[in-house]
Amino acid sequence: MNHQQPRQATKMSASPPPVSGEGHMASRQRKLESMIRDPRSPVNVESLLDGLKSLVLDLDYPALRKNKNIDNFLNRYEKIVQKMRDLQMKVEDYDVVKVIGRGAFGEVQLVRHKTTQKAYAMKLLSKFEMLKRSDSAFFWEERDIMAFANSPWVVQLFSAFQDDRYLYMVMEYMPGGDLVNLMSNYDVPEKWAKFYTAEVVLALDAIHSMGLIHRDVKPDNMLLDKYGHLKLADFGTCMKMDDTGMVRCDTAVGTPDYISPEVLKSQGGDGYYGRECDWWSVGVFLFEMLVGDTPFYADSLVGTYSKIMDHKNSLHFPEDVEISRQAKDLICAFLTDRDVRLGRSGVEEIKSHLFFKNDQWDWNNIRDTAAPVVPELSSDIDSSNFDDIEDDKGEGETFPVPKAFVGNQLSFIGFTYFRENLLLSDFPELGKKVEPCKNNGTKKNELRKNEDGEELIQFQEKINKLEDQLRNEIQTKDDLEQKYRAINSRLEKIMKELDEETSSRKHLESSFRQLEREKALLQHKNAEYQRKAEHEADRKRNLENDVNSLKDQLEDMKKRNQNSQISNEKITQLQRQLDEANALLRTESDTAARLRKNQTESTKQIQQLEANNRDLQDKNCALENTKLRLEKEFLNLQSALESERRDRTHGSEIIHDLQGRVLNLEEEVKNGKITLAKMEAEKRQLQDKLTDLEKEKSNMEIDMTYKLKVMQQNLEQEEVEHKATKARLADKNKIYKSIEEAKSEAMKEMEKKLSEERTTKQKVENCLLEVEKRCSMLDCDLKQSQQKINELLKQKDKLSEDVENLTLKIEQETQKRCLIQNDFKMQTQQLNALKMSEKQLKQESNHLIEIKLSLEKQNNELRKERQDADGQMKEIQDQLEAEQYFSTLYKTQVRELKEECEEKAKLCKEIQQKIQELQEERDSLAAQLEITLTKADSEQLARSIAEEQYSDLEKEKIMKELEIKEMMARHKQELGEKDATIGSLEEANRTLTSDVANLANEKEELNNKLKEIQERLAHLNEEENDLGLLRTQFEKQLAYERTMKTQAVNKLAEVMNRKNPIQRGADTDVRRKEKENRKLHMELKTEREKLTQMMIKYQKEINEMQAQIAEESQIRIELQMALDSKDSDIEQLRCQLQTIHIGLDNSSICGPGEVETDDGFPGKICPSLFWKKRRHTTINDSIWGSYNWECRHPSVIKF
C-alpha cells in the first residue's frame, strides 16, 4: 500500500514529477522499509504493533473514555487490536511442565510448545514489579544479549512477547541445572574446577566483547547443557560500558558474597569501575568450588561486607583442604585491588596462567571435549537437576485503575522479538480473489448469500477434515518417532556388539600377525644359525686338517732334528700353534653345541607358533562368520531405518502439504469472512430499504383505501342520481321530450366517466397486486433477518452477561471510589473548617484593605502548601503502610525460616542416625570401586601391550627394510655372478649351440626369478602401505581408547566425588535457606535504609511545615492583638473626636479671647496620638496623618 500511494498521487497531479524525484522517493521508501524490517531498529514491525497495543491498553479505562477523542480512537482500534493479540504468540500456545525457578520479578517455567512439541524455558517478568523497582530492573539488556549474542557461551532467546501483566522470554532449556546443584551433589576436584573456570572465563570474555559488564557472576547464573558444558544466564544486571571500558553507577548491584569492593563502594556514591569486577566474582567462584564455601562468608551482611573491604587480611585458605600452589596464586590474583587485578589488561593474561595448563584440552577446543559431568537425562523435559518449587498460589499485584493517563505499558514497547520472524517476508499469495457481485436484485442477493453460506460450510468441512488428517498424521508421526527411537536403540546395541567384536577381532588379528612375525624372525634366526653352524663346521675341518699336518711336520722334525736347538724352538712354536688350534677347536665346538641347542629350541617355538597360528585362524574364521552375521543384521536394520526415514519424510511432506492446505483454507475462510462482512453490510442496506418499502406500502395502502372509499362514494352518489334521473325521465317522458337529447348526452358523459373510473380502479388493483408481491418478498427477507436478529440477540445475551460481570467489577470499583470519596470528604471538611476560619479573619479585617490583601496572599500560599503537605503526608502514610506490610512479611518469613531451621536440626539428628547405616553401603561401594580400579589397571596393561605391539611393528618394519636391502644386495651379487658365468660360457662355448640354448633357458629362468623378486618387492610395498594403514587404525583406536578411558575415569571420579544424598540434601537446603535469608536480610536492610531516608526527609519537611505553621499562627495572634488594640484606639479616638467637636462648638459660642486661651487643648491631644501611632506601626499612615497635622496646627480647625 505504501508503494501505491505515491503512484496514485502522481497520476492525479496535473504535471507529473521527473523520474529522478520518483527514484529519490523509492530510495526513501526502501530506507523506511529496511528500518521496519530490521529487528534491532526501534521502529521495526513488532515495535509498531507493541505501540498500538500499549496505547489501547493504557487508554481503555472508564475515566479516560470520557474524553471524546480517546473514545473515538478506542472505538476504531479496540477490536482490531484484540484480533491482533489473538493472532500473535501468547501464553496459551505453551503447556507448562514445571516451575524451575522463582525470583523477585517473576519465575522461570519449563514449557512445551503445543504445535512443535519442543521444550523451552520460559521466563515471566511482572510489569508491575519492574516499574515499582525500575532502578534495579534491566530487562532490555537481558533481552538484547540473549537475542543478538550468537555465542555458544550465552543462553539463546527464541522469542519474546507480552500481555497486559507480564513479559515473556522463551529461551533454550538447559537440562543440566546450575553449578550450585553440581557443587551440592559432588566434591569438586581441582581438575573439574579448572575446566569450569576456563569455560566461565571464555563466557565472560564473550560478554565483555559485546561492550557489557555482567556484575552478577555466581554459580546460580551458570547453567549446564545436555552435554555438560557451561552457559551464562540472567543478564538482568548487565550494564553497557562507555568508550573507555568503564561504567558509572551509584547503586551496589550483585549478590553479597560475590560482590567486588569497588562495586560495594558505589552504594550511595559515585561508582566508577570496569570489567575487572567480574573477574573478582570468578575468583570467589573458584574458591567456593575448591573449598566448599565462599571466602568472605559471615553470619551477617555487615560482617561479609567488612571482610570484602578488608580482603587483604580476611582471605585465608583452610589447612584441611588440599589446594595447589597455582590455584592459590590464581585466586589471590583475582581477589585483590582492581588496579592490579588479573584480567584488567585483557583476558590473555588469564589464559596464560599456569593453573590452566593441561594435556586434555586447550582454549580453542574446550567445548569439543568431554565435560567432567554429563547429565543423565530420561527425556527432553527431564528436570531432575532442578529443585522442586512450590506453586505460587497468591495472585500478583496489578496496575490500579487510573483516573488520568499514566502510560504503564509505554515502557515495554518494542520488547516483542522472534528469532524466525515471518512478518513482512515475501510469501506467495495464497487464496483466491473474490469478485464482488454488483447486482441490485433481491433474488440474486439471496442466491449469493446461500452460495456464500454453502461455501462457508464446505470450507468448514474441509478444515475439519484437514484437522482430522493433521491429527492422524501427527499420531502416525509420533508412532514413527517411537519406532525410530526403538530401532535406534536396537541399532546402537548392535553397533556396540559389532564394535566389541571388531575390537576383539582386531586384537586377535594383531596377535596373529605378531605370532607370524615372530615365526618369520625365528625362521630367519634358524637359517642364520644353520649357516653359522655350517661355516663353523668348515672352519673346524680346516683346523683339524691343519692340526694333522702340523703333527706330521712335528713328527718329521722330531725325527730329523732331535739333537738341534733350532728344532726345539720350532717344536715349541709348533706346540704353541697346536695349543692355540686346540683352543680354537674347543670354542668352535662349544659354539656349535650352543647353536644346535638354539636350533632345537627355535624348532620347538616354531611348532608352538604354528599351533597358535592354527588356533588363531580358527578364531578368525569364527569372528568372520559373526562379523558377516552382524553385518547382515546391520544392513537389515539400515534398510529398515531408511524405510522408516522415508516414511517419516513422507509423513512430514504430507504434514507440510496439509499445513499448506490449512493455510489456503484459512485464507479462503478469511476471504469468506470478508464476503460475509460485505453481505452483512448489504443486508443492513436491504433492511433499510425494506423499512422504507414498508413505510411506502403503508402509505400506499392508506392512499389507495382512501381513494377507493371516495370513488365508491362517488359511484354510489352517481348511481342514486342516475336512478333518480331515470325515474324522473320515466315520469316526465312525455313532458320533457325536447330535453331527451341533452339528457342522453349527459348520460353518455356519465358513462364515459364511469368507464374511466373502472380503468383507474383496475390500475389501482394491479398496483396493489404488485405491492402485495413485493410485500411477500420483503416478508421472506424479514423472516431471514429475524432469524439473524435472534442470533444477534443471543450474542447480545452473552454480551449482557459480560456486561453484568463488568458491572460487578464496576460496583467494586465504585465501592473503592466511595471510600476514596469519603476520605476526600473528610479532607474537604477540614479544608472547609480552614476556609471558615479564613472567612472569619476576612470579616474581621474588611475595614483594613492593605492588611486584608496581604493576609489573603499569605492564606493562599498557606493553603497551597497545606494541600501539598497533605498530599505528601498521604504518600508517606501509604509508603509507611507498604513498608509495614513488607516488614510483617519479612518477619513472617524469618519466623518460618527459624521453624524450618529447627525442623532441619531435627532432620540432621535423624540423618546422623542414617549416616551410620549408609557407611556400610559406602564400604561395599569402596570394594566395588577397588574392583573397577583393578579393571582400569587391566585396561592400562592392555593399552601398554598394544603400545609394545606398535613398537614391535616399527622394529619389524625396520627388519623388513633391512631384509629387502640384503635381498637386493644378494640379487645384485647373483646377477653379477650369473652374468660372469654367462660371459665365460658364451666365450668358451660359442660353437656349442646346445650349451647356448641351455644358457638361454637359464637366462629365462633368471628373468622369471627377477619378476618374482619384483613382485615380492611390490608385495612388500603393499605390506608397508598396509602397515601404515594399520598404524593409523591403531592411532585411532588409541585415541578412542583414551576418550573411553577419560570417560571411565570421569565416571569413576563422579562416583567418588558424589556426596551422600541425605547429607547433600540437608547441606543444600541449609545453604539455600542461608542464602535466601541473607538475600532477604539485604533487601530488608536496603528497604529500611530507603525507609529511614524517606522518614528523615519527610520528617524534615513536616518539621519545616510545623515551624511555618507556628510562625503563621504567631503572626495571626499578633495581628489579632494588633486589631484588638486598634479597635480600642479607634474607640478612644472617636471619644476624643466627640470631645473635640464639643470643644469646638463651645469655642464658637465663646469669644475670640477664649479661643486663644484654649489653644493648648489640641496640643495636649496630638502628642499622645502621635506616640500611639508610633507604637502601632501596622496601621496605615494615611488614615491618621491628616488628623495629626490638624492637631499640630489648631488654627486650621477654626471655622
- Residues with catalytic annotation? 216
> Which residue is it, cell 398496483?
767
Task: Calculate the CA dihedral of residues 749, 751, 753, 759 and round it to 10 degrees.
Answer: -150
d(CA 479, CA 458): 31
d(CA 44, CA 49): 9
- For residue 675, how many other CB atoms are within 10 A of its CB? 19
Grid cell for residue 59: 487508554
- Contact by Cβ (8 Å): 46, 417: yes
Q: What residues contact 933, with CB distance under 8 A and at least 6 apart?
A: 1052
- Using a 10 angstrom Cβ sphere, with 0-12 exposed, 13-18 middle and 19 or more buried, the burial of residue 162 is buried
Considering only CA atoms, which of 427, 419, 407 is closest in space to residue 46? Answer: 419
Going through 254-407 in order, the beta strands assigned E by DSSP cover 271-274
- Contact by Cβ (8 Å): 370, 1047: yes
- Contact by Cβ (8 Å): 521, 609: no
- DSSP secondary structure, 1083-1133, as one string: HHHHHHHHHHHHHHHHHHHHHHHHHHHHHHHHHHHHHHHHHHHHHHHHHHH
Using only C-alpha atoms, the chain has a radius of gyration, in whole angstroms, of: 58
d(CA 852, CA 846): 6
First to last CA, the chain: 100
Judged by DSSP in three states, 99 sits in strand
* Max intra-chain CA distance, the chain: 238
Query: Beta 212-213 vs 166-172: how paired, if at all?
Result: unpaired
Considering only CA atoms, which of 125, 109, 142, 163 is closest in space to residue 396? Answer: 125
- For residue 537, how many other CB atoms are within 10 A of its CB? 12
> Which residue is it, cell 559431568?
373
d(CA 94, CA 115): 9
Q: List Cβ<8 Å contacts ≥24 apart for 207-210.
A: 207/145, 207/154, 207/232, 207/235, 207/238, 207/278, 208/275, 208/278, 208/347, 210/145, 210/149
Between vectors from CA 612 to CA 610 and to CA 618, what angle results, nearest 5°? 105
- DSSP secondary structure, 554-621, as one string: HHHHHHH-SS-HHHHHHHHHHHHHHHHHHHHHHHHHHHHHHHHHHHHHHHHHHHHHHHHHHHHHHHHH
Residues paired with residue 157 on neighbouring β-strands, in sequence order: 171
* φ and ψ at residue 426, rounded to 5 degrees: -80, 85
Kindly state the DSSP code that residue 367 receives in the 8-state scheme.
G
Query: Beta 106-113 vs 119-126: how paired, if at all?
Result: antiparallel
The amino acid present at 1069, given as its one-letter code, is D
* φ and ψ at residue 653, rounded to 5 degrees: -65, -40
Between vectors from CA 808 to CA 802 and to CA 814, what angle results, nearest 5°? 135
- Contact by Cβ (8 Å): 289, 321: no
Residue 123 annotated as part of some ligand binding site: yes
> Which residue is it, cell 615380492?
1016
- Contact by Cβ (8 Å): 223, 246: no
- For residue 603, how many other CB atoms are within 10 A of its CB? 13
User: Binding site residues, as ranges?
Assistant: 123
User: Binding site residues for ATP, as ranges?
Assistant: 123
